[in-house]
Amino acid sequence: MTRENIEFTGEAGVTLRGWFYPAENATGPAPTVVMTHGMTAVKELYLDDYAEYFAAAGLNVVVYDHRNYGESDGLPRQETDPILQHRDIRNAISYASTRPEVDAARIGVWGTSFAGGHALLVAAIDKRVKAVVSQVPFISGSKSFAAQVPLGHAAHVRDQFNGDRLNRFTGGEPAILAAVTDDPAGQAMMPAPDAYEWFTKGAANRAPNWKNEVTARSLEWASEYEPGSYISRISPTPLLMLVADNDTVAPFQFALDAFEEARQPKELKVVSGGHFDAYGGPGFEECASAARDHFVKHLGA
């Protein structure tokens, strides 16, 4: 499938880079899906598979690397600012609407993992979004932090955040964490064993520009981010939430609780497996086909 390398301007003038996949067999402006990946991930980590799947169904697709990651610009490198990331999604929608291949009245948003939370927030506040898919979503920073950091260690981690903040304020370099680790006692943004296996194997095979690094401030900001609190405001935009029943990275219980707060129209699909099984794994076909059908139904591909 032919795809186009693209770039557009995100928040604060940062250049974001990615791909545009044209809708197959389109005879005029077609509906379009804006896609973004999760924490530290780059577009080469299986977003191309999803984009090809959607394009084959008559959907244009815009997919790009978040600021500070992959081929996109932005400093400091390997830093995740959830506020700027969800604002960049809105800039991606604006970019898509300027393209002649795109029907600006039929734009959907797809986000996975950390960006699954972004998708919920953006669909709630930006009514240019006419359909949304949130896959294995990050729901609550406070709940995730409490689940990940033992109670007795939370104050120590907060002290580390404060030390990093002071160091940066006085001109020091950002503190860096591993994104994933195979050390059960090690500190990482995503300490789950399946996260280490998926990123290290997937990155080696598909995304050599992925780095096992993330700034400490990214973890601090993630712990403060509550995208699930917006979920009741998504309606009347149709929502599909895809939840993995063995997800320990973005605990599925948080997603199920949030879904109860969403208003109609909404659809929940629970798939078997862990957080990463939808990327090139046994859950890909199930998740991709459900998302495709949701977008085709509500965007009219």
Q: Beta-carbon neighbour count of residue 15 at 10 Å?
A: 13
Answer whether the bond into residue 29 is a cis peptide, omega within 30°.
no
Q: Cα–chain-centroid distance for residue 108?
A: 14
Q: Is beta strand 60-64 parallel, antiparallel or unpaired with respect to 102-112? A: unpaired
Q: Exposed/middle/buried for 256, CB within 10 Å: 0-12, 13-18, 19+?
A: middle
pLDDT score of 108: 98
pLDDT computed for residue 35 by the predictor? 98
Q: How far apart are CA 98 and CA 95, in angstroms?
A: 5
State the pLDDT at residue 169.
94
Which pTM value belongs to this model? 0.95
Residue whose entry in the numeric block shows the structure tokens 């120590």: 156
* pLDDT value of position 160: 87
Coil/strand/helix, residue 252: helix
Q: Tell which residue, 188, 103, 201, 104, has the closest CA to residue 148.
A: 188
pLDDT at site 151: 65
Domains present along the chain, CATH in parentheses: 4-141+226-299 (3.40.50.1820)
Three-state secondary structure of 257-290: HHHHHCCCCEEEEEECCCCCCCCCCCCHHHHHHH
Determine the straight-line distance between the first and last CA of the chain, rounded to whole angstroms: 18
CA 51/CA 280 separation, integer angstroms: 13
What is the token pair recorded at 166?
């002071």
Query: Mean pLDDT for each 10-residue chunk of the chain (301 residues)?
Result: 94 98 96 98 97 98 98 98 98 98 98 98 98 98 82 78 90 94 86 92 91 96 97 98 95 96 98 94 94 97 73
Instruction: Supply the pLDDT for residue 74.
Output: 98
How long, in residues, is the chain? 301
